[in-house]
Amino acid sequence: MRCKICEAKSTHFAQAKILKKYDVEYFQCSQCGFVQTEHPYWLTEAYEIPITKSDYGLVARNVGFAQLTLEIITKFLDVRGRFLDYGAGYGVFAHLMRYLNLDFSSYDRYCDNILAPESVVTELTGVYDLITAFEVFEHWVDPIAELSQLFQHSSNLLFSTELLPSNNPKPGEWHYYIPHEGQHIAFYTPKSLQIIAERFGLKVYTTQRLGHFFTDQPLPSNMDTLIPWQRYEPQNIFPALQQQLLQAAQAQQSAQKSSAKPELKILVDGVFFQLYKTGIARVWSSVLREWAGTEFSQCITVLDRANTAPKYEGLTYRTINPYSYNNWQGDRTYLQQICDEEGATLFISSYYTTPLETPSVFMAYDMIPEVLDGTLDEPMWQAKHSAIRHASACIGISENTIRDLQEHFPAQAELPATIAHCGVDPLFAPATGAEIEQFRHHYGIQKPYFLLVAPSTGYKNAQLFFQAFAQLPSRAGFDVVCTSKQGWLDPQLRQFVPGTTIHPLQLSDAELRLAYAGAIALVYPSRYEGFGMPVIEALACGCPVITSPVSSLPEVGGDAVLYVPPDDLQGMMDALAEIQKPSLRRSLRVAGLQQAAKFTWDNTAAKVQQGLMNAVLPLGDLQDVNYLLAPDWTQPEEVLGEAIAQVFRQLAQQETTVTLAFYGNNADLETINLLLSGIAFELMMGEGLALDEKITPTVVNMLSSPQWNLLLPRLQGRLILDCDDQEAIATFPDGLTAIKLTTE
């Protein structure tokens, strides 16, 4: 393939999925670095909506382009000249420039001009003092042909397109490719712009990133300071222009509001499945399996790292690049790009990844390195701490984990926190005597045995068992079974019990069930756990447990286990002796089965779902009495103010404290909060009402079905106002009682 700019040879550069369904090849020029796709056969489909749905920054960027263009015109050209905006889109930019009394026409072969229809020209004729082409170059199939036409009508071309960064990123590594929208097919470099300028006998100025200027005029040496390119930022445009533009945009939004549907989209990064196969993978595979096919699953997209996540029918998956701890910061940028492409409302990771801006929920499994003074400068823990600080809510697999997180990160202590205890797989259940005997025979276990799961020194504290077992008078009558992923036992532990038969085994879950069921007891003397999965699995199999009364273990074991402090050697010796009594083991088995029945994966999945919903619909402000209100926010401020003030007055006379949840219906939240604050301030200062002690106002926006399911049980009803938004109320679910407050 030949380069469309310099006609040199272009070689294969990358592949990406365009419009989420076409596998498309990208090619890069060996001379000028220009990147182009293969022939873009998908463009008709891509331009069914000319301005893409995800272009939320359209207004802000055009405001910036307006100021930049004004700078170019006033410093280099005649303000009385004739100008053209090429690729004008909806006419936002032309509308702004005509507001400044500049003679701007607009041309776009794909999109209807809504805001400045009077500026439209249907064909290019005559000469213009300046042509602008913002965010157009990257759409061209034949850039040289397009430029040849434009330069017939002006030798001054001000344009924007993001240049390929110097690190030569591929799709998935740079946001500007936007393959899911399919419209960006050409990507330029500084060298390719210089070649274009030379081809047409022009000079080019480039910021090396976004803004560029072709001209036949001499360019001053102080171009960087003469034109303040930094004024692209929307807050620097003239307030009057911004206000007019915002009014125009709001008018468009109001026309579409009645047809808008709330959409909740939660991305779940399945990164742990790529990294490890341990207990956290069991947690997430169980949660995803419970969600699959439910109404909530419609809100979920699983980010599948290198195709490693378990697949469940009823869930949506998107395969993404694998993760590396060594690039955890770069991965944040990559995830933000994906969040933007997917329109994500919320993000949660299975293991400490996080985007840059999208609200995220932190899933806390344990705080082992923080509590036990581990080495915290490792990339894994740096990524973990970054994720904690970025979080807008937390979910912990135990109450203790959340307490430890809040202790070590006090700034996050006020975040909404949900406890989602782990469940136990139904596979873990009591076994028959025949099954146990077959297991023992298979592994050559001749004696009754104590069971240890993943025993090691350090915080797992297995040495406490071996030291106590070594002093057990009856130790010759027992074997020891140790299970681990490696099927290996630390030699330091073996030295405590010479002469004892130790079976280091690597077991499947089905075999582990039999190991639990046949053991005298599981001994689990850990100093710290985030949850303690072996404890609950053992209880579910009818296996007595000896464990430590620390961290999360009492939450898991309840009253169904024997507790020994992690440094109590004599206590462990006593427990090993006591657990040999048949009557004690029988009573612990009964209690253990009852305790284990409290921990199910469907409950875990429901709690994780609740934690996610709390993040997008914070319920911390709700009290025992809560009402919903749905004012029509387009009504005059005095109408809204009086209707809401009357509600405040009446509720302030009651004894109970009340939360008023105002339905925003996508209105500006800052404006709503300012209005509510002003009403409350006026009533407190002017009428002496103690509203701060009686009423808590909060704002909820357009709600998805899962969010309604969470909110409805907490509401006493909807308060009727004279200025109700009837269109919004018509979308509310059934079962919400309408209440009219009466004045006495």
Q: Identify the pLDDT of residue 667.
A: 72
Rounded Cα distance between 715 and 705, Å, is: 15
Q: Identify the pLDDT of residue 744.
A: 54
Q: Is the pLDDT of residue 239 over 70?
A: no
What are the structure tokens assigned to 12, written together? Answer: 């294969």
Rounded Cα distance between 608 and 603, Å, is: 9
- pLDDT confidence band for 424 (50 / 70 / 90): very high
Per residue in 182-216, pLDDT (tens digit) is 999 999 999 999 999 999 999 999 888 888 999 99
Q: Identify the pLDDT of residue 59.
A: 61
Higher model confidence: residue 83 or residue 175? 83
Averaged pLDDT for residues 611-639: 82
- pLDDT confidence band for 422 (50 / 70 / 90): very high
473 closest CA partner among 567, 571, 580, 577:
577
Q: Is the pLDDT of residue 55 over 90?
A: no
Q: Is the pLDDT of residue 669 over 80?
A: no
Per residue in 302-347, pLDDT (tens digit) is 999 999 999 999 999 999 999 999 999 999 999 999 999 999 999 9
Averaged pLDDT for residues 489-518: 93
Q: Is the pLDDT of residue 117 over 60?
A: yes
Set out the domains of the chain in order of their start, with CATH numbers. Answer: 10-246 (3.40.50.150), 266-419 (3.40.50.2000), 433-599 (3.40.50.2000), 618-739 (3.40.50)
Q: Identify the pLDDT of residue 260.
A: 45
Q: pTM value?
A: 0.59
445 closest CA partner among 502, 517, 484:
502
Q: Identify the pLDDT of residue 232.
A: 56
- pLDDT confidence band for 267 (50 / 70 / 90): very high
Rounded Cα distance between 264 and 299, Å, is: 6
What are the structure tokens assigned to 461, written together? Answer: 């504290």
Per residue in 681-699, pLDDT (tens digit) is 677 766 777 887 788 888 8
Neighbour tally for 593: CB within 10 Å = 16
Average pLDDT, the chain: 89
CA angle (47 as vertex; 43, 52 as ends), nearest 5: 125
Buried b (16+ CB within 10 A) or exposed e, 304-334: bbeebbbebeebebeebeebeeeebeebbeb
Higher model confidence: residue 427 or residue 669? 427
Higher model confidence: residue 366 or residue 246? 366
